[in-house]
Chains A and B, each alone.
Chain A
Amino acid sequence: MNNDLNPRSNHIMVELDQAKKIYPMGGQEVRALDGVSMSFREGSFWAIMGPSGSGKSTMMNIIGCLDRLTEGRYLLEGHDVKTLDDDALSEFRLKHLGFIFQSFNLIPQLTVQRNIELPLYYLGWEAKESEERAIELARRVGLEKRLDHRPTELSGGQMQRVAIARALANDPQVLLADEPTGNLDTATGDQILEMLVDLNNQGKTIIMVTHEDHIAAHAKSRLHMKDGVIERLEGEFE
């Protein structure tokens, strides 16, 4: 059932090979990931689904270079992450990944503009250029009038749009979103999803965790997890 209509690329962005994440818990061990093999191609849009505790967030943390595998291999753009030290992982996140979280995770004391500029600050951009970039990104998510506001003065949907702008600041190839609509009402959630679909159409690889079927329906492909393993795949994939 190969219905890959996307001619864009066969290039593999993210690859997990027998990936295991095992937490020792007293005498027992928790197998959060228990042998996952999976490739995410460039330009794909995946929804990762599954019951609570099935290992979705664990997988996102691994892909996001925030955590390391206990066993198996993880290749990000062909680089074996295991060989990278903490600084190199940070560098990887900074240059290749964009994060969108359920609880937005904006820094409350910084203005919208400063929040968006954050990746650029760590990339060492000059103040003037990063300001221009922040304004451009704010315009893209429709918040150019809110640049001087603090996150607490924004609605949930607006906060998530700031988070998206921030995730896009470093122009990453891969966007990782862990329940991006989890804290939003349906209408606002749909708006956010539309944005993600747009971004995917512009070529971004998106991996998104969600519980909701109607949200997952926006993605090109769906991955169902259960007890740390892949239960089944759905939609467009190869």
Chain B
Amino acid sequence: MKYNKFWRDVLLGVENLLLHKLRSFLTMLGVVFGVGSVVAMLSVGEGASKEALEQIKKVGSNNIIITSMKSVEEETETNQRGPRMSIYGLTYEDRERIARTFPAVKQTVPVKLIREEAHIGERSMEIRVVGTTLAWFDIVRRPLLAGRILSPSDFEGHSAVVVLTEYGARRLLATKNTIGENLRIGTDNFMIVGIVKSEGGKAADLQLPDQEVDAYIPINIAKTYYGDTTRDGTDSREMKQVELDQVILEVEDLEHVEAVAKGIEVMLDRFHTKKDYAMSVPLALLKQAEATKRTFNIVLGSIACISLLVGGIGIMNIMLASVTERTREIGIRRAIGAKRKQIITQFLIETVVLSTLGGIVGLGLGIFIPLVITLTAGMPTVVTPLSVMLPLFISIAIGIVFGLYPAARAAEVDPIIALRHE
């Protein structure tokens, strides 16, 4: 019964608003655009940060990636003196020292990288040979598509085996049936034992550990086949001597990641005369991304608040005018026997209906715009339950907050004055 009466009141409110369609529509616009921009901005922001976060998580937030890099000083020296051999980067000793010094480090993965031409029959492509240990597959977890990953016996037996990535396998026309066949890398022959998926590409600001053109081989094979001295870059005649191109660490506890990273940096700086490595800490980037997102949300929130405030004030303004205009009606209702709170309810319902309607239309707009953005600009957008519920809730709240004062003014109308014939 109460329920029925409520909807009857809402219907009466809607009827009243429909009497002045244009005015009601114009009054709603403030809330429409306010809510619309909130929803749109939330979904665009959410989409952008979700993509960034996902990419960063792919790298592994427990991981620290240290990459050998020619130091800036050496870079300039090379330019001056022409072809030469440069010695730099991480060493086997570095890796052991890290494992020894930091108990929080769960595992360390040494990586040797060699660019080479790979062939299966007639097909060939340039690949990145990744000499690494078993732990690689533990840290860089990618689905196995065919065959198997490297096994301990490959290392013990010094087996010349290779695991291809999906992309590389496709380029070389390798399929499930190719498992067990021969892959020639440079002049060496390897047996293909498996194919894994590769993520490849860049994640936000950092390189993922794996690339699409990877071929994984046991690190001891890489060491015996290629040694530590390789060509520096594909078409350069310069040589480089680097023991480990990369060391990837997995830290046991998320809380320790940043402290460990700091410690390693201090330690490496002590043993390296030049800054010949670069450290990337996905967690730090993750935190940074989250902080950026927070700032973004605060800025968006403020803008949204202002536009909603303006919308609310617009509604209040019109409702105040409406109360003045309908003084006589209010007087009649009061004379007949309407209580003050019934007048308040009547006007409040009208305001809330108006603002909620504005909220719903704004929501439609706010979902439609990101959709267009996604379709045209290819930018990812995400409409979360929160970005739908929040604006709706806010628009109802706006109706109540900004409707209360006009409604109270309506309730204060003195029927005697209102009914005095003019």
Chain A residues with a Cβ under 8 A of chain B? 61, 64, 66-67, 86-87, 90-95, 97, 99, 101-103, 105-109, 118-119, 122-124, 126-127, 166, 170
Q: Is the CB of B342 within 8 A of A109?
A: no
How far is the CB of B329 from the nearest CB of chain A, in Å?
5
- Bound form: Cα–Cα A94–B290 in Å: 61
Q: Is the CB of B332 within 8 A of A90?
A: no
- Bound form: Cα–Cα A106–B78 in Å: 97
- List residues 25-46 of chain B with CB under 8 A from any CB of chain A: none
Residues of B close to A94: CB separation below 8 A: 336-338
Q: Is the CB of A122 within 8 A of B332?
A: no
Q: B148 near A: Cβ within 8 Å? A: no
Q: B8 near A: Cβ within 8 Å? A: yes
Q: B16 near A: Cβ within 8 Å? A: yes
How far is the CB of A211 from the nearest CB of chain B, in Å?
13
Give the size of the chain B interface in residues (CB under 8 angstroms).
25
Q: Is the CB of A66 within 8 A of B416?
A: yes
- Bound form: Cα–Cα A93–B5 in Å: 22
Q: Mark B320-340, 1 if CB is under 8 A from A, else 0.
A: 000000001101111111111
Q: Is the CB of B19 within 8 A of A105?
A: no
Q: B364 near A: Cβ within 8 Å? A: no
Q: Mark B332-376, 1 if CB is under 8 A from A, else 0.
A: 111111111110000000000000000000000000000000000
- Of chain A, the residue at the smallest CB distance from B421 is A103
Q: Is the CB of B339 within 8 A of A105?
A: no
Q: Of A107, A127, A170, which is within 8 A of B329 by CB?
A: A107
Q: Of A103, A122, A127, which is within 8 A of B336 by CB?
A: A122
Residues of B close to A108: CB separation below 8 A: 329
6 residue pairs A–B, Cβ–Cβ below 8 Å: A66-B416, A87-B341, A101-B419, A105-B335, A118-B336, A122-B337
- Bound form: Cα–Cα A87–B332 in Å: 16
Q: Told that A90-B338, A122-B333 touch, could you supply 16 new A-B pairs with CB distance under 8 A?
A: A61-B416, A66-B335, A86-B340, A87-B340, A90-B334, A90-B337, A93-B335, A95-B337, A99-B335, A105-B331, A109-B15, A109-B329, A119-B336, A122-B338, A122-B339, A170-B337
Q: Of A67, A91, A127, A166, which is within 8 A of B416 by CB?
A: A67
Residues of B close to A97: CB separation below 8 A: 337
- Bound form: Cα–Cα A95–B329 in Å: 20
Residues of A close to B332: CB separation below 8 A: 105-107, 118
- List residues 283-342 of chain B with CB under 8 A from any CB of chain A: 328-329, 331-342
Chain B residues with a Cβ under 8 A of chain A? 1, 4-5, 8, 15-16, 19, 328-329, 331-342, 415-416, 419, 421
With contact pairs A61-B416, A107-B332, A118-B333 given, residues A87 and B339 touching in the complex (Cβ less than 8 Å): yes
Q: Of B4, B19, B415, B416, which is within 8 A of A109 by CB?
A: B19
Q: Which A-B residue pairs are the 6 nearest by beta carbons?
A: A94-B337, A93-B337, A90-B339, A103-B421, A105-B332, A107-B329
With contact pairs A103-B421, A105-B328 given, residues A127 and B337 touching in the complex (Cβ less than 8 Å): no
Q: Is the CB of B337 within 8 A of A109?
A: no
How far is the CB of B257 from the nearest CB of chain A, in Å?
65
- Of chain B, the residue at the smallest CB distance from A167 is B336
Residues of A close to B416: CB separation below 8 A: 61, 66-67
- Bound form: Cα–Cα A113–B216 in Å: 85
Residues of A close to B328: CB separation below 8 A: 105
Q: Is the CB of A124 within 8 A of B5?
A: yes
- Bound form: Cα–Cα A107–B336 in Å: 12
Residues of A close to B16: CB separation below 8 A: 109
How far is the CB of B188 from the nearest CB of chain A, in Å?
90
How far is the CB of B202 from the nearest CB of chain A, in Å?
63
Q: Is the CB of B415 within 8 A of A66?
A: yes
Q: Is the CB of B337 within 8 A of A91?
A: yes
Residues of A close to B415: CB separation below 8 A: 66
- Of chain B, the residue at the smallest CB distance from A109 is B19
Residues of B close to A101: CB separation below 8 A: 419, 421
Residues of B close to A106: CB separation below 8 A: 332
- Of chain A, the residue at the smallest CB distance from B329 is A107
Q: Is the CB of B5 within 8 A of A119?
A: no
Centre residue among B1, B334, B339 by max chain A CB count within 10 A: B339
Residues of B close to A66: CB separation below 8 A: 335, 415-416
Residues of B close to A122: CB separation below 8 A: 333, 336-339, 342
Centre residue among B1, B331, B337, B419 by max chain A CB count within 10 A: B337
- Bound form: Cα–Cα A103–B335 in Å: 14
- Of chain A, the residue at the smallest CB distance from B19 is A109
Centre residue among B338, B416, B421 by max chain A CB count within 10 A: B421
- Bound form: Cα–Cα A108–B325 in Å: 12
- Bound form: Cα–Cα A95–B337 in Å: 8
- Bound form: Cα–Cα A97–B335 in Å: 9
- Bound form: Cα–Cα A97–B329 in Å: 18
Residues of A close to B329: CB separation below 8 A: 107-109
- Of chain A, the residue at the smallest CB distance from B337 is A94
Residues of A close to B339: CB separation below 8 A: 86-87, 90-91, 122
Q: Of B19, B331, B336, B341, which is within 8 A of A93 by CB?
A: B336
How far is the CB of A25 from the nearest CB of chain B, in Å?
15
- Of chain B, the residue at the smallest CB distance from A172 is B337
- Of chain A, the residue at the smallest CB distance from B331 is A105
Residues of A close to B340: CB separation below 8 A: 86-87, 90
With contact pairs A66-B416, A67-B416, A107-B332 given, residues A119 and B421 touching in the complex (Cβ less than 8 Å): no
- Bound form: Cα–Cα A67–B334 in Å: 12
